[in-house]
Amino acid sequence: MLEFFLKSFLTLFVVMDPVGLVPVFLALAGDRPPREQARIARKAVLVAGGLLTFFFFFGRGLLSYLGISLDALRVAGGILLFRIATEMVFAHHERETEEEAREALERADISVFPLAIPLIAGPGALASVLVLGGEASRVPLGVGVVLLTAFLVLALAYLFLRAAIRVRRALGRTGVNVVTRVLGILLAALAVEYVARGVRGLL
Q: What is the pLDDT of residues 53-69, one digit of tens each?
A: 999 999 888 888 888 88
- Half-sphere exposure of residue 114: CA atoms within 13 angstroms, side-chain side: 27
Q: Tell me, what's the pLDDT at 146?
A: 94
Euclidean distance between CA atoms 48 and 75, whole angstroms: 19
pTM of the model: 0.71
Task: pLDDT band for 107, please (50, 70, 90 cuts).
Answer: very low
pLDDT tens digits along 118-146: 889 987 788 888 888 878 888 889 999 99
Residue 91 has pLDDT above 80, yes or no: no
8 Å CB contact between 160 and 7: no
Q: What is the mean pLDDT of residues 171-198?
A: 76
**In sequence order, what DSSP letters do the residues of 14-50 get, joined into one string?**
HHH-HHHHHHHHHHHHTTS-HHHHHHHHHHHHHHHHH
Any idea how long the chain is?
A: 203
Q: Is residue 185 a contact partner of residue 86, using CB atoms and an 8 Å limit?
A: no
- Give the model's confidence band at 152: pLDDT under 50 very low, under 70 low, under 90 confident, else very high: very high
Residues in CB range of 59: below 8 A, 6 or more apart: 126, 129, 130, 133
pLDDT score, position 176: 66
- Contact (Cβ atoms closer than 8 angstroms) between residue 31 and residue 176: yes
